[in-house]
Every structure is written in C-alpha cells, then in structure tokens.
Amino acid sequence: MRSPRDLRIDGQALMARLDALAEVGAIEGGGGCRLALTDEDRAGRDLVVEWMRQLGLFVRIDAIGNIFGVRAGREDGRPVMTGSHIDTVRTGGRYDGNYGVLAGLEVVRTLNAAEILTRRPLCVAVFTNEEGARFAPDMMGSLVHAGGLSLAEALAQRGIDGAALGEELARIGYVGDMPVGTIQPHAFVELHIEQGPVLDQEGVTLGAVDRLQGISWQELTIAGQSNHAGTTPLRLRHDAGFVAGAITMFLRELARKMGGNQLATVGKLDLVPNIINVIPARATMTVDLRNTDEPQLREAERRLAAFTADLAQAEGVTVTARTLARLEPVIFDADIAGRIERVAGRLGHSIRRMTSGAGHDAQMMARICPAAMIFTPSVGGLSHNVKEFTRPEDLKAGADVLLHTLIELAEA
Ligand code: HGY
Ligand code: MN
Ligand code: MN
C-alpha cells in the first residue's frame, strides 16, 4: 500500500470532470448557467450523484436538497467534510463551486485507488442554492444545515421569478428524507477559486483563508409616479428611476469615502413601466454591501438608510427596504488554516493567508465545526463571468493540498 504522503490527485481526471459538469447548462463563452433548483441544476445534481455512487460513496439527501456523499472510515463518528456548491449565477464560470465539489470527489478516487481507509469517515457535500441568485439568501443550504435558517422559512422563499422554493425543490425531485443538520462534521475544509485578484497579482499559488467578510443584501422598492416624459416639468416629477440612479451614485461614493474594505454593488435594477417616454413609477433594486469589519458594515447600512430617507422626502417617493441576507464577518479555524499552510509548504506550493471577499458555505459550517478554506488564483480576478479561469496546474495544486489536509484531519 502506498504511503499517504506521496499520494497526488490525478489532474486529468479532475479537468475531465470539470469539463463534463460545465456541459450542463453551458452558455456562450464557456461558462454555465444552473440557477438553483432549475432543470439545469437538477441535471448537474443527477450527474454528481451518479459520480458519487460510482466512487462507492453512500449518498444522503436532506430536506433542503443538500447532497452528502459519505465514505466510511476505519472508525465511526463525525466525518471530515469538504464540498461546496454546483448552482451558479446566470453568467457563471466553470469553477465557482464546482471545483470544490469535484476536487472532493477526486480525493475519494485517489484514496480508493490507494486502498486507504482514513480513521474518520469523509464526506463530500453539495449545498443547495449557495449563490442566492434566484432565491435569497445565498449560502441557503449550508445556512439551514447549520441551523441559521429554519427549513420552513427556506422552503417558503420566493424566487426572483416568483417561484416557491419548496415547490421547485419537489419539482426537481430533491426533497431528501434526511432531516436537515443530520450529518455534523468533525471539521470542514472548502476548496474554492479566489474570485478576486490577490493571488493572481502576487503570483502566489494558494490561499489559506482564515476569515471572510460580512455581507448585507437589501432589496429597495422605490414608488414614485409615472408621467409623461415630455410634458412633466422637473418640479412635478416623482421619478423612481432618478432616485434609483441617485442611490447607485451615492453607494459608489460611500464605498470610496469609507475606504478600508467597504464595497457596494447595485446588481439588479428593474424599472416599471420601463418605457422610453414614461417617467418610471417604480424601481426595484438590490444593494450588496460588504466589509470585513462589522461596525463599518453597520455604518454603511446606516448612511444608506439616512440618504434614501432624505432623498425620498425631496423627490416625493417612498423607499421600502427588505433585507435579503445579513451575515456578519467570520473568523475561520486558525489551526486548520495553519495546517493548510504546512501541507502546501510540504508539497512545494507558495501560499499566503487571506480573507475571502465572497460568501461561501464554509462560513456557515464554521458555526457548527472548525472550518477553513483553500483558494486558488482567478486569472485577472474574474468571476461570476463566463471568462472565469484558473490554470490547471493551480487547480491540481489546490486539490493536492485539499487531499492531504483532509487525510491529516481524518487521522488526527
Ligand atoms: O455572493 C457571494 O459572495 C457568493 O458568490 N454567493
Ligand atoms: Mn462559490
Ligand atoms: Mn459564486
């Protein structure tokens, strides 16, 4: 039997799986669109479940559709868990989420081929609706698993297309019989592309992620009055479109003035009636605020609320805010982050500590067990974009470090 220390992931097999999954919901430009609980998501789930079964994993599905592939250990008990998500945003790349799940399956294949049974069981997880692009909040499946959102509340969520989450989950056949939260991990490690520019710009191969920034998602509904674009003087306008634009400009300025890690994004904007010669009666927009510092994130929320209240008054419109997601910054497990660094060093890869700008399932798992993440570079820092790209050698390096980090945690 080969010594575990010289095991390595088969990079070709990993790339083949990534390519095969990328075919499901493939869109122009090489990316993928598998919005949570759509037919494309079901097809991706079916494929990954098939691969799990081929690898001899015991597949369990819970009531929110999270998928767990369990590999027995020499002993019973809490598994060492890895995994991520395979749902995407509408303009998804090939690696976001998929990489962490498929690298987890390659870890299993490598251990199977070497006939190695770890002391603790291993588990590869696929969490439902990580992106939140169709149903808010994001990281939903792992949040429910960690007890941060009730199953009933999650099932009742309405999508941006008006669909009921519970009905969609049933429609694609992924209402599992396992109660949510059943599989409590001993530890959780998520491998993911960075989705930002740091590793690529610094020429560092891997990131040991020891913290993750806070996220505030709001939907603002601005109600004004539609009127004729040609006959209505400025002083008589209650222009929801103007107010939405003014809020967007304010947010960029707010992030610039606050500095630090403050970010602000208006990603979605719908105008009604959305006609060239009609002053918009209504605007519905989303606001995504992020910061590593919770008091700063709260200050950004406060300033936005104050600005919209004044503007609403001045423009004679009403602005209603609805919270879609609100997650505080997370500190991951320093021991696991240290272990990731040591493994990377042993395997000869450069690595640095870093913070995640994106939300991830690991931040929810950190509520119930020690957790940390491994990042690989995103070329040009691009993600949530069909041109998302990570070099195959970097994908393999990350998977090799995942393999040995999981083995160590499963033997410790
Ligand atoms: O929004 C995020 O950070 C993640 O991609 N869901
Ligand atoms: Mn992701
Ligand atoms: Mn994403």
288 C-alpha vs ligand 1 centroid, how far in Å?
10
Per-residue pLDDT, averaged over 159-175, amounts to 98
Point out the ligand nearest to the CA of residue 92: 3
- For residue 117, the Cα-to-chain-centroid distance in whole angstroms is 30
Per-residue pLDDT, averaged over 334-342, amounts to 98
- For residue 266, the Cα-to-chain-centroid distance in whole angstroms is 18
Residue 155 has pLDDT above 70, yes or no: yes
Instruction: Please report the atom of ligand 1 found closest to the CA of residue 89.
Output: 5
Residue 401 has pLDDT above 90, yes or no: yes
User: How many percent of the chain have pLDDT more than 90?
Assistant: 99
72 C-alpha vs ligand 1 centroid, how far in Å?
32
Q: What length is written for the chain?
A: 412
Per-residue pLDDT, averaged over 130-144, amounts to 98
Structure tokens belonging to residue 42: 């079901």
Mutation probe of ligand 1 site: the residue of 135, 138, 261, 289 with most atoms within 8 A of C-beta:
138
Would you place residue 5 in the very low, low, confident or very high pLDDT band (cuts 50, 70, 90)?
confident
The pLDDT assigned to 266 comes to: 98
Return d(Cα 387, Cα 203) in angstroms, integer.
Answer: 19
346 C-alpha vs ligand 3 centroid, how far in Å?
30
Residues having CB within 6 Å of any atom of ligand 1: 130-132, 138, 358-359
Q: What is the mean pLDDT of the chain?
A: 97
Structure tokens belonging to residue 282: 């209504």
Per-residue pLDDT, averaged over 184-203, amounts to 98
The residue behind tokens 């490598």 is: 110
Torsion over CA: 205, 211, 214, 217 (sign): positive
Per-residue pLDDT, averaged over 324-334, amounts to 97
The pLDDT assigned to 1 comes to: 55
Instruction: Please report the atom of ligand 1 found closest to the CA of residue 133.
Output: 6
The pLDDT assigned to 2 comes to: 62
- Domains in the chain and their CATH numbers? 4-212+330-411 (3.40.630.10), 214-327 (3.30.70.360)
Return d(Cα 395, Cα 250) in angstroms, integer.
Answer: 39
392 C-alpha vs ligand 2 centroid, how far in Å?
18
pLDDT digits (tens, 9 = 90+) for 20-40: 999 999 999 999 999 999 999
Residue 145 has pLDDT above 60, yes or no: yes
Per-residue pLDDT, averaged over 171-196, amounts to 98
Residue 57 has pLDDT above 90, yes or no: yes
The pLDDT assigned to 76 comes to: 97
pLDDT digits (tens, 9 = 90+) for 314-325: 999 999 999 999
Would you place residue 3 in the very low, low, confident or very high pLDDT band (cuts 50, 70, 90)?
confident
pLDDT digits (tens, 9 = 90+) for 360-377: 999 999 999 999 999 999
CB 282 within 8 A of CB 221: yes
Would you place residue 4 in the very low, low, confident or very high pLDDT band (cuts 50, 70, 90)?
confident
